[in-house]
Structure 1
Amino acid sequence: MKVNVHAVNFNVDTKLVGFVQLRLDKLEKYYDRVVSSDVFFKLDNTSGKENKIAEVKVTVPGDEFIVKKQCKTFEEAVELAADSMERLLMKRKQKIRAHS
């Protein structure tokens, strides 16, 4: 699956891109018709520790799912977002199965 990584106002290192690619490739186990995915990394301007935002957008035929998580690290945010995305994709798969 093609994963596009976008970092808003900073450069993302290759280790993080590799982590994102590996983690989002696992989504295809739950729903095999994923077209593409975009990951947006943003830094929140608050003084709190949890200022890293990861927004994961997954495109499937006829729909688009977006999950946004804010954590202390980008890896943790991606992990939580991917977990939520897995649940969304499983629901989608069951809904399609029920109609066919």
Structure 2
Amino acid sequence: MRLQMHAVRFTADQSLLDFIQAKLDKLDTFHDRIISGEVFLRLEGADSNKVKEKIVEVRLMIPGKEIFVKEHDKSFESATDRVMDVLKDKLVRFKEKRSDISSPAIAEATSRVEEEDEVFEPDEL
């Protein structure tokens, strides 16, 4: 997956960026059609001298939808783990909705409707 990372108003360590990349690469197991993603790393309270919390925002682009998740925690690693949990759930739910369209129950119902809507020729009436 093509992933762009942005550290807002600070310079992120390469090991942190590698950690986030490795975590988000695992999302391909839950949805195989992820086009790209953006990660924003922010420090809450960066204007003052004390950083209160660290914020991780992830935007994933998949065909037909854009998924956005924002989580905060004491460290970027734990916030990334929380983002991963939410993204997994959202990707699985989205994929299930897409696969429901082609489920056997829906196919059977549409075929029944098509059988009921048969067109009668004028000679048959």
Structure 2 counterpart of 1:70, one-letter code: H
Residue 117 of structure 2 corresponds to none
Distance in 1 (CA, whole Å) between partners of 2:67 and 2:38 is 10
The counterpart of 1:98, out of the listed 91, 95, 100, is 100
Q: TM-score, normalised by structure 2?
A: 0.75
**Runs (5+) with no aligned partner, structure 1:** none
Residue 53 of structure 1 corresponds to 55
Higher relative contact order (CA closer than 8 Å, sequence separation 6+): 1
How many residues of Structure 1 are paired with residues of Structure 2 in the alignment? Answer: 99
**Runs (5+) with no aligned partner, structure 2:** 103-125
1:16-95 to 2 correspondence within 5 Å?
Answer: 16-45=16-45, 49=52, 51-95=53-97
Q: Runs of at least 4 residues of structure 1 off by over 6 A?
A: none
What's the offset of the Cα at 1:48?
7.1
Q: TM-score, normalised by structure 1?
A: 0.94
- Bigger Rg, structure 1 or 2: 2
More strand by share: 1
Identity score, percent = 38
